[in-house]
A and B are shown apart, each in its own frame.
Chain A
Amino acid sequence: MVTARAFDTKISALYKAGKIFGGVFLGRGHEAIAAAEGVFLHKGQDVYAPFIREQAGRCAWGDSVLESARAYFGSASGLMRGRDGNVHWGNPAEGTPAPISHLGAGVAVVGGAMLAKRMKGQTGCVGLACVGDGTTSVGAFQEAANMIAVQKLPVVIVISNNQFAYSTPNSQEFACKSLTDRGIGYGYTVHECDGTDFLSTLQTMGQAIASARTGEGPQWVVANTLRMCGHGEHDDSCYIPQELKDAYADRDPLAVASRQLRELGWITEDEDAALAAECAEEVQRCVAQAQKEAPPAPASENWVATSWNPEHEEQ
């Protein structure tokens, strides 16, 4: 969480300095939810489909912020090699599909991966798909959510309800009382938590992931929070009422986590400060490396979109 926040802060500053090519999307307000996802998943066994506000989840899952930095800079050494960028990166070989921009499209992909694992006889694995409140309106999401439930796959769908789909508030996005209602309708076991409350989010997510892992069928988690930034850094979030922002002023997930851990005696103020410094240094190092790496070379780009072609065949 701390690394993710440091990374977001750094990338935002670089964006404002004009050093980033396209958009920048932060996870402010989502860190506890994302971290709770990543921390209960096992790289190499599970499938994790983060979307645009899951930097903390990527860190907890075990991916270096170097890959995130490479994606933003379009480094030729990065997983997407400058062919895609910003938050649209994945490492499918290690269980993180590369997300596309179309909301909800990744949910069926996670379902399909879990279906394949079941066919191959792999047990005890979980697939987790991240979506937002707005995504629950998308047809692709609803088709996938239904199909996963019909197939009784070990999938956890996490809906981070940050109250705004870009600028659209919940009241203009859905008419059901709670997004948990949708999960009940599809036949999921539903969970809900305050996504700004670190310990309670950990508990809820841990339980949902464990249930999916032990064969209790698909799980539906609604984690409530507020997006504590714009949709992207180009967006001043003027549509979020000031009273709402004020109401969340002391609910920043990082501050809450720090407070909770200090109250439990698991961390001291000094250790907390040392952690922040260590994470900031790691971010600094990774961003500097990504910035130094060679960009993709248009002259040597092969412009080939398939692995097979008839010419290769004849050779």
Chain B
Amino acid sequence: MSDSSKQATSQSYSVAITGSGGSGAVTTGRILLEAAAQCGFQGLMTRSAGPQIRGGESAAMVRFSQDPVECMGDEYDLLVGLDWRNIERFADELPLSDKSLILSDPAAGEVPALLRSNGADILEVPFKKFASGLPGGRLNMVALGATALVCGLDLKALETSVKAILGNKGEEVVESALLAARLGYNHDHRPRITLEAPGKPADHWSITGNQACGVGALRGGTRFVAAYPITPASEILEWLAPRLEKLGGSLLQAEDELASINMIIGASFGGVPSLTATSGPGLSLMVEGLGLALVSETPVTVVNVMRGGPSTGIPTKSEQSDLNIAIYGLHGDAPHLVLAPLSIRDCVFTTQWAVQLAEHLQTVALVLSDQSLGQSQAIVEAPPQRELSLARKVEATPDAEYQRYAITPDNVSAMSLPGTAGGMYTADGLEHNPRGTPSSMAVDHRTQLNKRLHKLEDFDFGEDWADVEGDGRRCIITWGSSTGAVKEVAGWLWAQGSSIKIISLRLLAPLQHDRLKELLKDMEKVLVVEQNHAGQLFHYLHAEGVLPVSAESLAQPGPLPLRPGRILRALGGGG
């Protein structure tokens, strides 16, 4: 078996670690990512699990690079098999090529044919044998050591990471893990990777998308959260609960999503910026409440971490299929904000922006994150602080003329908060006149419809509505988590000297028609890329009249990630 011919030449390195229940694939991946981070790399770890609630087979996918890593690559450079039980469940998620290497334990039996079929090399390391020679030795730690060496990671960095990740399991566990990892590391093989480690930078963060949404919520000023647990959004809530408390805020676990949305509306009516997080089934239950917030002009933000739908769907896997409900789900004419973070790191800014926009415009903001962002761990440059001059307009000294829903130049009217003398009013889901008194008169309905529409349509959202990069007569439009793979393709093309423009939409509603039309005006080819079955963004953009008739759609449903190579093919080859 030639150990010498295949070197990773790309600018990133991708490793998949698989194993059956209890084999520790995810822990192994976490430590590997941390070790790469300690060497100064940026990186990403996604995970895939079987349907079991706890245990069961799982796979950890780690990719690292000197540059930001915002998606998984087309194939893995290294596949580590802690064992091969149930590997067929993952095989289609783990593409290999003849440049790949498979690290396997002879004791686990022969590498399954479906993995070997692409001509990957095999390197054998006796994980189990090494581990059994150590007190409390675990084979995944031997594999970790061997993997770290193949990846060219420094032993010191690996040791630091073992201590950091396993530290809370006690000294014995750490000691035995270190011994096992060193055995694997020092086994007779050599690095396969040419990436030069940048050295530990001071300002990298290790964070998941769900945590990043939590940070963004707090940066935006959120101080009250009510929510009902749901996969894959719960980590936002679990991260926020103890931290809100320390900032003088609170989180209330509601009895259901009908309660959570109405609770945050109540809290926001009281003047406290409020947010909830959920996933598709929960969002469906909240929709009536969103209309109430919108009509009563009570600011709220809902972070919807999308999973495979409809119905219970595929709760643990990612899909961008809630765009339709987010945009069109409310009854009545109900303009509101829909935003989507473009990466794990961007979950911080987009959530902050959403909360502050909702506050400033006194409306509903929906943030469409998804499982692939929410539950993946990333090593990224620290997200910069962004001071946004967006805040709720409050009437502190209302006089006798005060009108809660007064028509103003920007169509936002000052809100009087409970406790303020002279500003008493009843917030209502019923249509109302400017004073807030319920009204079924045509003139009041039209006036308030216009107010709610124009406060959004006429607002200048500035440059953050989309990330626009590149130029030329070809263009990809994408949104949310698909942005990572699209940017990777664009990077390839730019490196080859060919041109492409990419537009990654952070603000989906209100759609920035004029800006989009301007960008698309001379395009010869437009491809709309998203991870759902129906082409929801594609149809939305068409309905809004911004796409040329020749525009094409690449819509691929979950749960398989959208890979850069697939996008390149849809674009028509290498360009």
Q: Do A and B come from one complex?
A: no
Give B contacts to A, CB under 8 Å.
none
Interface residues of A (CB under 8 A from B): none
